[in-house]
Amino acid sequence: MEIFRLLWVIIFTITLLFYSHSINVEGRHHISKKQKSKNVSNAPSPVDVPVNEPSSLPPSPPLSSPGNVVPSDPSYGGGPTLNSDDNCIFDVTEYGAVGDGSTDDTNAFVAAWKDACQVESAVVLAPADRTFMITSTIFSGPCKPGLEFRVNGVLMPPEGPDCWPNEDSNKQWLVFYRLDNMSFTGTGTIEGNGEKWWELPCKPHRGPNGSTLPGPCDSPTMIRFFMSSNLVVRGLRIQNSPMFHMKFDGCEGVLIDQLSISSPKLSPNTDGIHIENTKSVGIYNSVITNGDDCISIGPGSSNVDIEAVTCGPSHGISIGSLGVHHSQACVSNITVRNAIIRDSDNGVRIKTWQGGSGSVTGLSFDTIQMENVRNCIIIDQYYCKTKGCRNETSAVCVRDISYRNIKGTYDVRSAPIHFACSDTIACTNITMAEVELLPHEGELVDDPFCWNAYGIQQTLTIPPIDCLQDGMPQSVGEAAEYTCNT
């Protein structure tokens, strides 16, 4: 009996040990998630980060290959956190990028992007303490969701039009195309090297004696997102663009947060953020100084929320220009709140061309501090870049515009409030409340200007805007025909 019990214990122990070993082997098999290596010259495989490692197993040994990047902390507060849930980091230096500021690193970025595009939640990394020069490039999708393009170093184009490759488009530099659930982040700088572009004789007042000369004038937009959705742009410093710093065209679902955008005050056409044919956009916690519109909102845009943004020097926050060349333009549901605009040619502006059609509706400007701003509040339906524009009867309809708690100082060279509405189609349902604007220097020289503008003053406006007409016009013209769905 004793011998039988001893044999049973031995058999049970052997079985238990074998079963335990099988579990551990199976667990280790599921931890390894390495990607297949691609045929890229001088490009080691990207670094794998273990995913969901069971607590019953010992931690994986640290990766020690030269050049591997396994960060243990987020790149910056509030941004995407790189942790054990990240699948792969694709460091461009492992694909041959030199990062010395003069070597063309385009091929390395393209190769890293192509590999990362195939992996869910992948990171294309341009590491810190390097300056990468790349030429005009389209980073296209579709890609696996969660792709992050992270710039912690400096990324820049060739310096000026003379260095721009002849085969590259001189209308755009970095293009992100047909992407969904993608983010562009980092602690680094996107440097545009725009100085030589701004000096082209075709640019405003760059010719002899302050003239503007004819000739080729195309300059690249720095960063363009095209036909993409669910985008995040956060944390970067973007500066000295040859033309627009950042443009969103044909996109839906955009979050822009914690950006610093800067160019000199006299740099021409350097809009900070331009939105066109794009819906559902949030722009938050950013500082923009440049030589044109701080934020410009073009046709086909709707549901845009702007908050905690500081602009200036700049040309202010602009809706438009709209309706150029007799086109139809529709913009709706735009909110600007808790903003600061300083030392700018305009504050909050709506600008449309005569002869256009469409509508601008549902705009709210709330709690905005003006500091030495010309044209603090302006609607200009006679926008024209030359003196040769003629009066036309058709116009973009402007209605349902609210200005609340807008205070501060204005540059006395222009009246602080200017409503120049179409002769044919009046601006209607303008609401003014707690608007208090005082001269930055000197005394008030011009009263507010209104032409064919209708609305109400819920509180006394400083300066008084007696020219705003009550109610609605007897004939709103053909306004009903100028509305459209956005």
The pair of three-digit structure tokens given for residue 268, joined into one six-digit string: 């021409």
Mind listing the pLDDT tens digit for each residue in 406-419?
A: 999 999 999 999 99
Q: Is 11's pLDDT higher than 60?
A: no
Q: Is 15's pLDDT higher than 50?
A: no
pLDDT band at 362 (very low <50, low <70, confident <90, very high): very high
Q: Is 345 a catalytic residue?
A: no
Concatenating the DSSP letter of every residue in 406-464 gives: EEEEE-TTS-SEEEE--SSS-EEEEEEEEEEEEESSS------EEESEEEEESS--BS-
Q: Is 315 a catalytic residue?
A: yes
Concatenating the DSSP letter of every residue in 106-172 gives: HHHHHHHHHHHTTSTT-EEEE-TT-EEE--SEEEE----TTEEEEESSEEE--SSGGGS-TTS-SSE
pTM: 0.81
Burial class of 239 by CB neighbour count within 10 A (0 to 12, 13 to 18, 19+):
buried
Burial class of 220 by CB neighbour count within 10 A (0 to 12, 13 to 18, 19+):
buried
CA dist 367 and 77 (Å) reads 27
- 113 vs 446 pLDDT, higher one: 113
Tell me the HSE value of 203 on the side-chain side, using a 13 A CA sphere. Answer: 19
| Arithmetic mean of pLDDT, 61-84 | 31
Dihedral sign computed on CA atoms, order 155, 161, 164, 169: positive
The pair of three-digit structure tokens given for residue 76, joined into one six-digit string: 């910056």
Q: Is 211's pLDDT higher than 80?
A: no
| Arithmetic mean of pLDDT, 381-407 | 91
Q: Are the C-beta atoms of 368 and 308 separated by less than 8 Å?
A: no
Residue in 315, 380, 400, 411 annotated catalytic = 315
Mind listing the pLDDT tens digit for each residue in 321-331?
A: 999 999 999 99
Mind listing the pLDDT tens digit for each residue in 226-264?
A: 999 999 999 999 999 999 999 999 999 999 999 999 999
Q: Chain centroid to CA 299: how far?
A: 16
Q: What are phi and psi of 427, to 5 degrees?
A: -80, 130
The pair of three-digit structure tokens given for residue 413, joined into one six-digit string: 């060279």
pLDDT band at 299 (very low <50, low <70, confident <90, very high): very high
Q: What are phi and psi of 198, to 5 degrees?
A: -65, -25
Q: Are the C-beta atoms of 415 and 390 separated by less than 8 Å?
A: no
Q: Is 134's pLDDT higher than 80?
A: yes
pLDDT band at 420 (very low <50, low <70, confident <90, very high): very high
Q: Which is nearest to 408 in space by CA: 377, 447, 369?
A: 369
Average pLDDT, the chain: 83
Q: What percent of the chain has pLDDT over 90?
A: 71
Q: 172 forms bridges with which residues in the sheet?
A: 221
Which of 37-41, 103-107, 469-473 shows the lowest mean pLDDT across its residues?
A: 37-41
CA dist 205 and 437 (Å) reads 32
Q: What are phi and psi of 6, to 5 degrees?
A: -65, -40
Supply angle C-alpha 379, 339, 375, rounded to 5.
30
Q: Which is nearest to 135 in space by CA: 111, 110, 118?
A: 110
Which of 197-201, 258-262, 382-386 shows the lowest mean pLDDT across its residues?
A: 382-386
| Arithmetic mean of pLDDT, 293-312 | 98
| Collapsed DSSP state (helix, strand, coil) of residue 270 | coil
CA dist 313 and 28 (Å) reads 58
Q: Is 368's pLDDT higher than 60?
A: yes
pLDDT band at 35 (very low <50, low <70, confident <90, very high): very low
Q: Is 402's pLDDT higher than 50?
A: yes
The pair of three-digit structure tokens given for residue 174, joined into one six-digit string: 């970095």
Q: Are the C-beta atoms of 319 and 298 separated by less than 8 Å?
A: no
The identity of residue 361, as a single letter, is T
Residue in 91, 249, 292, 380 annotated catalytic = 292
DSSP 286: E
pLDDT band at 52 (very low <50, low <70, confident <90, very high): very low
Q: How much is the pLDDT for 19?
A: 36
CA dist 9 and 6 (Å) reads 5
